Amino acid sequence: MKLRRTLAGLVLACLVTAPGFLQSQTPGYSPLSPAAVGARVETVIQCGGEPCDAKISLLEVVRGDKAWQRIKAADSSNAQPKGDLEYVLAHMKFEMSARTPGSKSYQIRSGQTGQFLAFSAEGQPYETPALVLPKPELTGALRSGESIEGWLAFLVPKSEAKPLMNFDPASGAAKGQGKLIWFRLQ
Indicate the class that CATH gives domain 2-184: mainly beta
Torsion sign, CA atoms 110, 36, 84, 79: negative
CA–CA separation, 59 and 83 (whole Å) = 28
Higher pLDDT, 166 or 2: 166
CA–CA separation, 54 and 144 (whole Å) = 10
Could you tell me the residue ranges of all domains in the chain? 2-184
Mean pLDDT, the chain, whole residue set: 83
Q: How far is CA 60 from CA 8, 63, 67, 152, in A?
A: 47, 10, 11, 11
Q: Report the first-to-last Cα separation within the chain, whole angstroms.
A: 54
Count Cα atoms within 13 angstroms, Cβ side, for 7. 4
Render pLDDT for 129-144 as a digit per residue (tens, 0 to 9).
999 999 999 988 888 8
Q: Is this structure's pTM higher than 0.85?
A: no
> What is the β-pairing status of strands 85-98 and 147-157?
antiparallel
